[in-house]
Amino acid sequence: MPTAMASECAREQGKFWEMHDQIFQNQQMIQDPDLERYAKQIGVDVNRWKKCYADNKHKARIEEDQRVAMQLGARGTPAFFINGRFLSGAQPLPAFEALIDEEIKKAKESGLSRREYYEKAVVEKGKKAM
Amino acid sequence: MMMRSAHHRVPLAVAALGLAACVTRGDIEEIKQGLKEINTKLDRGARPQQPQQRPQGPDATAVYAFPVGDSPAKGPADAWVTVIESSDFQ
């Protein structure tokens, strides 16, 4: 939870992935002073970041994401949904490639445009588990 | 000396008999059943999770309506394929 909040607070300032990458590369060093150091390194406004972090500002959003994953039964991480199709755990690359290739083919044959495909074919027609 | 110790033993034996007389066959069955249940629970707790107790994960053949919302994302918004990752840090 602290790392997720640190990332969300960086995201406020447009630096989500920068914080994400720092934490991901230093998974043994994620105490508060470490997170603050990363905030400095990625170049966010540190005072604003610190206040956001201390206030647990984005806790509800993170909990909502966790709730959705739990409800779907995706209890372990990582869990992937490729155009809505579940792939569990850290699978080898070919497992991803196979699913992605199938989905690209399906999408191109759908007659829908790229812009509307996910919304129309996956979100609207998919199983509403949430 | 021998007499004294025998004397002591008598009331004890009586007390034990008295207890036994109060316990009916039904009571014993009930106790046995209780023990059985306790043992089953202990047994379950000691073993690693049984497959049938594993919580059901998402259906691999289904398509889930997973909204992207304003989640952090990489790549073009109009890609043919959208991969949602649910992850955490170690």
Q: How far is CA B69 from the centre of its chain?
A: 39
Q: How far apart are the first and last CA of chain B?
A: 73
Q: What is the pLDDT of residue B8?
A: 52
Q: Does ipTM come in above 0.90? A: no
Q: What is the pLDDT of residue B49?
A: 46
- Distance, CA of B63 to CA of A13 (rounded, Å): 34
pTM of the model: 0.67
Number of residues that make up chain A: 130
Closest Cβ opposite residue A85 in set B63, B68, B79: B63
> Within an 8 Å CB–CB cutoff, is residue B89 touching chain A?
yes
pLDDT, tens digit only, all 90 positions of chain B: 554 544 555 555 454 444 444 567 777 788 888 888 887 777 776 655 444 333 567 887 888 888 888 889 999 989 999 999 988 776
> Within an 8 Å CB–CB cutoff, is residue B65 touching chain A?
yes
Q: Which of A105, A30, A89 is nearest to B80 (CA)?
A: A105
Q: What is the pLDDT of residue B61?
A: 83
Are residues A118 and B82, on separate chains, in Cβ contact within 8 Å?
Answer: yes
Chain A positions in Cβ-Cβ contact with residue B56 (cut-off 8 Å) = 73
Closest Cβ opposite residue A80 in set B56, B80, B85: B85
Across the strands, what pairs with B84? A81
Q: Which long-range contacts (CB under 8 A, 24 or more apart) does A43-48 make?
A: A43/A15, A43/A18, A44/A9, A44/A10, A44/A13, A44/A15, A44/A19, A45/A13, A48/A12, A48/A13
Phi, psi torsion values for B85, nearest 5 degrees: -115, 125
Are residues B55 and A126, on separate chains, in Cβ contact within 8 Å?
Answer: no
Q: Which of A121, A93, A58, A72 is nearest to B58 (CA)?
A: A72
Alpha-helical runs (H) found in chain B: 2-22, 25-46
- Mutate which: B53, B59, B74, B82, vs A, most A CBs within 10 A: B82
pLDDT below 50 — which residues of chain A? none
Q: What is the pLDDT of residue A78?
A: 87
What CA–CA distances, in Å, run from A90 to A65, A78, A87?
20, 6, 9
Q: What is the pLDDT of residue B90?
A: 60
> Within an 8 Å CB–CB cutoff, is residue B66 touching chain A?
yes
Chain A positions in Cβ-Cβ contact with residue B68 (cut-off 8 Å) = 118
| Closest Cα in chain A to B61 | A85
Alpha-helical runs (H) found in chain A: 2-11, 16-25, 32-42, 46-54, 59-72, 93-108, 114-117
Q: Which of A128, A76, A80, A78 is nearest to B54 (CA)?
A: A76
Q: What is the pLDDT of residue B46?
A: 60
- Other Cβ atoms less than 10 A from the Cβ of A86: the count is 22
Token look-up 């043992």 returns B39
